[in-house]
Amino acid sequence: MSTTTPNAAFRFGAFELDRSSGELRKYGVRIKLQEKPFQILLLLLERPGEIVSRQEIRSKLWPEDTFVDFENSISAAVRKLREALSDNSGTPRFVETISRRGYRFVAPVSIGNEIAEVSTAPLPTQQQERRSGGIPGPIFVAITVLLVALLAGLLWFSLFRNHTGASLGEPQTVPLTSLPGSENFPAFSPDGKAIAYTWDDAENGIRSGVYIKLVGAEAHLRLTAGPGADGFPHWSPDGRYIAFCRTASGATGDYIVSALGGPERRITTLDSCGNLDWLPDGQHLVISQLLAARSFTPGKTYPLLIVATETGEQRTLTTPPAGSLGDASPLVSPDRKSLAFTRLMASEAADVYVMPIGGGHARRLTFDGQAKRGMAWTADGREIVVAIRYAGTFRLWRVPLEGGQPRAITSGGEDSYSPAIAREGNRLAYTVDRRDVNLWSVAITGSNTPKAGAPVRWISSNRGQADPQYSPDGRKIAFQSGRSGPNEIWVSDSDGEAAMQLTHLGGYCGSPHWSPDGSQIAFDARPGGNPDIFVVQADGGMPRRVTNNSAEDIVPSWSRDGKWIYFSSNRGGEFQIWKAPVAGESPATPAVQVTQGGGFNALESADGKYLYFAKGPSKSGLWRRTLAEGVAREEPVLESLQNWGFWTLSSRGIYFFEYPQAAEPPSRLKVLLKFFDFASKQTHLLATIEKLVSTPTLSPDGRRLVYAQVDRIDRDLMLVENFR
């Protein structure tokens, strides 16, 4: 028999019973429960795993001189208790009925900070029941026959209902969240009635954290409040805990927190972490070490790992082939026999695989080589819903487990990803990403120290644009835009007028860069999933492929003499700057590696003496390399540069963006526009911008800086009721 501390709270599953306040809460939300059911629950929780007789309940709840129908009153109170707990007498998760004797609480119970031991004694055998006055044999047989007939009828009704789909009604798509900022990574609780997700609102100083809420309720409970960004929450099989990934300086890894809130417990220490799931035993996680595009150690292949939640002990589960980045997004099937995951051949090229949960041969399920952003098993385990990017937009697709053509679930009008499907309740949740990205500019003045004017919107549409690049004569701007649907390369006058679509590849194109004579534009594209460098005439025409390598070749720029195209590639394992002849690489004219210590996003100086470059896609610092024959010296220029897409080059110095290193969380998002002067080695603050920005470009006369700005992020969770 358990001993409890007076007024200590009981915690079980997603519930908490507070004796001092007399309240029952689920995920922090108060559940209405009348006095008699509350007293029965309290009595059961005080003796978890033990049988509490109906006589004990009667003595506890009613004085001796009370005259009521005790049997019916107790049964009615237990029914109300089960309704509040979403429990079922046939398959109890919490309150078990012991025939003709009483009730027993069968779920694990935490009392204060301790876990009460639940010792469930075996039920009496049929012979023991008979000796103690149980159901006589002939009646038992009759009841058994009746139950078999009833179950057969229920099975027929279930099959008929599933065949017609009439009882579910038509699927209804409604908003699940509508908070400012970004909500992402939905995950249903085991009973499908609550959902965990992440939320952040950088503009208003709300740092990323894991939240939970009941489906249909507005109130939500914040579970995590650590540094950095939290993501990929997943419920434990019993609904008591939530595991998640955290990315933060010195604190990156996988964590576990109670579904009712409380201290977080770190399980792994990793350089990067990604999606994860619980194994059926509730004592191990299967985790991915790949967080996002290009977040990896060069030359290393990342398998999925199994991690013990108590000890942190790790072992390898999958064996990704050499040359791949590794495996990600593990997901256990509803029958707990299979594991689905994605295998990344490049950061934007992945396919879905399925394997036995204990390890073994992995069967490839998709063959498109496109970017994937989350997936979910259907409740019957016959399909996997996968977010796949086709034509520049993520959509949800049904992929049959036994083969066949995928079927689209969402339209291509907006990015839809991170699907989650409830095991019970016929519900699908997913993230919808609507962001308004436009090109803005600031005027640059001053003969000695530059000064920046007020930011003004420069080129805009309702479908977004980014990666601006001035033509050599300053009369045109090339940029990436989805205004025609897929992200293609567009060209307009420098003020945004007379915009013309330049490419029609039907996929993701970006990072345009003009040739020195202004006749051609180099860009990267992923027509087959894997990124390569292409060149197109500035007045249109068929793009020509420059690189054709299984590695990632991205972010091109031209040499000043117009003979070479620099680009970033991980074909040697780590991202370095390479260059290829403008006519294209071939066995006779192969691409040449330029940098040695890491490189990304290179620009050659106006005099052709130096090549400036960022250190890597996830590394800080700006460097330069001498280009003179026989001289190969790399040296730091601006070690404080925070992001490869935050800078551009002028003859006098570096214009760059910087997030201030202030205490978190800031009251509002602030980005600083700065100028690093080559001559004085001094850095000057030019402007403060309260929006997310990237990829600046400077006009040839040095009088205007144009950049991409995220004017609005509207990332919400959607809910599909009656999903089937």
Q: Is the pLDDT confidence value at 356 over 60?
A: yes
Torsion sign (Cα): 128, 132, 137, 142: negative
Say how far apart CA 556 and CA 298 lie, in whole Å: 20
CB count within 10 Å of CB 414 equals 15
Q: What are phi and psi of 462, to 5 degrees?
A: -90, 10
The position carrying tokens 């201030």 is 660
Convert the pLDDT of each residue in 243-281 to its tens digit. Answer: 999 988 889 999 999 998 889 999 999 887 889 999 999
Q: Which residues are bridge partners to 557 per DSSP?
A: 566
The position carrying tokens 């000043």 is 560
User: In whole angstroms, how far apart are CA 380 and each of 278, 282, 404, 421, 617?
Assistant: 19, 21, 17, 11, 40
Kind and range of the H or E element at 31?
Answer: strand 29-31
Q: What pLDDT score was predicted for residue 451?
A: 94
Quick one: which of 160, 137, 138, 157 has its CA closest to 149?
157
Quick one: which of 320, 322, 380 has its CA closest to 351?
320
Convert the pLDDT of each residue in 279-296 to its tens digit. Answer: 999 999 999 988 644 455
Q: What are phi and psi of 248, to 5 degrees?
A: -160, 150
Q: What pLDDT score was predicted for residue 412?
A: 65
Q: What mean pLDDT do residues 529-541 have? A: 91
Return the DSSP state at 667.
S
Say how far apart CA 106 and CA 94 lie, in whole Å: 5
Q: Give the pLDDT band of residue 585 (cuts 50, 70, 90).
A: very high
User: In whole angstroms, how far apart are CA 686 and each of 459, 663, 713?
Assistant: 22, 22, 25
Q: What pLDDT score was predicted for residue 20?
A: 79
The better pLDDT of the pair 296, 670 is held by: 670
Of the listed ranges 167-171, 517-521, 627-631, 645-649, the one predicted with least confidence? 167-171
Kind and range of the H or E element at 83?
Answer: helix 70-85
Domain regions of the chain by residue span: 10-121, 124-166, 182-433, 435-714
Q: Is the pLDDT confidence value at 558 over 50?
A: yes
The pair of structure tokens assigned to 566 is 């620099």
Q: Is the pLDDT confidence value at 165 over 70?
A: no
Question: What type of residue is 333?
Answer: S
Q: Is the pLDDT confidence value at 144 over 60?
A: no
Q: What mean pLDDT do residues 517-530 have? A: 89
CA angle 115, 13, 375 (to 5 degrees): 125
Say how far apart CA 554 and CA 549 lie, in whole Å: 11
The pair of structure tokens assigned to 598 is 């890491």
On the question of a common fold for 10-121 and 182-433, the answer reads no
Share of the chain above pLDDT 70, in %: 86
Convert the pLDDT of each residue in 299-355 to its tens digit. Answer: 678 999 999 999 999 999 999 998 788 999 999 999 999 999 999 887 777 899 999
Say how far apart CA 286 and CA 295 lie, in whole Å: 19
Say how far apart CA 612 and CA 629 lie, in whole Å: 17
Q: What mean pLDDT do residues 547-576 have? A: 91
Q: Is the pLDDT confidence value at 357 over 80?
A: yes
Q: What is the CA radius of gyration of the chain?
A: 31
Beta sheet of 265-266, edge-to-edge order:
229-235, 241-247, 253-258, 265-266
Q: Which residues are bridge partners to 705 per DSSP?
A: 442, 698
Q: Which residues are bridge partners to 286 per DSSP?
A: 277, 306
Strand, helix or coil for residue 164: helix
Say how far apart CA 546 and CA 451 lie, in whole Å: 39
Contacts for 309 with CB less than 8 Å, ≥ 6 apart? 243, 256, 267, 283, 284, 285
Contact at 8 Å (CB) between 98 and 51?
A: yes
- Alpha-carbon 107 to chain mean position: 31
Q: What does pLDDT average to over the chain?
A: 85
Q: How far apart are the first and last CA of the chain?
A: 46
Kind and range of the H or E element at 144?
Answer: helix 137-164
Class of residue 85 by CB neighbours under 10 A (exposed 0-12, middle 13-18, buried 19+) = buried
The position carrying tokens 């307009």 is 492
Say how far apart CA 545 and CA 542 lie, in whole Å: 10
Say how far apart CA 156 and CA 701 lie, in whole Å: 78
Quick one: which of 468, 534, 455, 473 has its CA closest to 499?
468
Q: What mean pLDDT do residues 14-26 have? A: 82
Convert the pLDDT of each residue in 49-63 to its tens digit. Answer: 899 998 888 888 887
Residue burial 346-379, b: 16+ Cβ < 10 Å; e: rest: bbbbbbbbbbebeeeebeebbebbbbbbbbbbbb
Of the listed ranges 106-120, 406-420, 425-439, 628-642, the one predicted with least confidence? 106-120
The better pLDDT of the pair 666, 259 is held by: 259
CATH topology of domain 10-121: Arc Repressor Mutant, subunit A (1.10.10)
Q: What is the CATH number of domain 435-714?
A: 2.120.10.30
Q: What are phi and psi of 356, to 5 degrees?
A: -60, 145
Q: What are phi and psi of 126, to 5 degrees?
A: -65, -40
Q: Give the pLDDT band of residue 159 (cuts 50, 70, 90).
A: very low
User: In whole angstroms, how far apart are CA 24 and each of 14, 112, 140?
Assistant: 11, 15, 39
Question: Domain 182-433 is classified in which CATH homologous superfamily?
Answer: TolB, C-terminal domain (2.120.10.30)
The position carrying tokens 């040739």 is 515
- Tell me, yes or no, if the pTM score tops 0.85: no
Contact at 8 Å (CB) between 222 and 202?
A: no
